Amino acid sequence: PTLTRPPPQAPAPPAAIVAPLLEAGLPPQAVQLLHGGGEVGALLCAADEVSVISFTGSAATGDAVARAAGAKRLVLGLRGVLELGGNAATVVCEDADPEQAARECARTGFSNSGQSCISVQRIYVHRSRYDGFLDHLVHAVDQLVVGDPLDENTDVGSMVDEEAAERVVRWSAEAADTGARILRGGTRDGATARPTVVAGPAESASVVGHEVFGALVAVLAYDDFGAVIETCNASRYGLQAGLFTRDMGRILTAWRELETGALIAGGTSNYRLDHVPFGGMKDSGFGRETPRSMIDDYTVVKTLVLRGHSVWGTRNATTEEPSA
């Protein structure tokens, strides 16, 4: 049986998935839904009746899950993955089309209000394209429709709660205090944070060093490709990265040297296919998620050794080996 405990901030989506499974005839003991906060999760992790724990969330909560679980089999993510977030970087080189890159960064930086572990957060643009890229990005962000997430015309809806939206406001204000420019956003209406573009934040700013998990992108200029790879790697996270360039040498160099689980060449970090191995490095986790890996991790492998018996019957079991 499978028992699901959704996050208390978003209880409805898991319920919407479980309900049709039960309506389709799946036995209630096969899939169950239990609501509650961290105390409920801790009790479930420690329960002797629970044999496997699958978890995706923050690094701090992941540590708590591991401590509560003890010697249980942990499937953190789906493939032994401590899939605990990211601070994804996308690099825009001087040979890229800045307008196309800006459109994609706007679309994938603010989809789901930025609440995705591979959402575009840090954008490093070659200095020769920096100002033009910012103009294109601001224009693309201005085209985004902010509103009711249930409206199919909405591009950016509310975040999970007001505290999350306030984090976007607070971190953008902090970046401005260190010299960054807030080109768009930096405000909220309840739980809806306006799409926020922060230009030129300090490397020490929270919008650069931590996971905002919200409707905010930070744009920084770079001069040397090798140096920007090192800058991207300075993050404690390493889930995915994006790269806009036509230079295959740079693509292979970035693929080899970036400390991320995947590189999306010709696109942003926010790209995923379920059948492609997915997972990170460093604080973004270990292992990879795929359907095949999920089946392996939920399967107990057992070995049967037959000694003195034959699956072919008595005759073959007693037949002597022919002489040489």
User: Among the options 83, 104, 211, 289, which is catalytic?
Assistant: 83
Please pick, among 45, 93, 117, 232, the residue that the annotation labels catalytic. Answer: 117
Residues 5/34, Cβ–Cβ less than 8 Å:
yes
How many Å is the Cα radius of gyration of the chain? 24
Which one, of 151, 167, 133, 147, lies nearest residue 244 by Cα? 133
With beta carbons less than 8 A apart as the criterion, state whether 165 and 214 touch.
yes
Please tell me the distance from the alpha carbon of residue 265 to that of residue 254, in angstroms, as a whole number. Answer: 9
Is the CB of residue 118 less than 8 Å from the CB of residue 269?
yes
Give 88-144 as a DSSP string: -EEEE-TTS-HHHHHHHHHHHHHGGGG-STT---EEEEEHHHHHHHHHHHHHHHHTP
Neighbours of 218 (CB within 10 A): 27
Is 162 tagged catalytic?
no
Return phi, psi of residue 262, to 5°: -155, 150
Report angle CA 288, 293, 295 to the nearest 5 degrees. 150
Q: Specify whether 93 is catalytic.
A: no
**Can you tell me whether residue 188 is helix, strand or coil?**
strand
Just list the catalytic residues.
83, 117
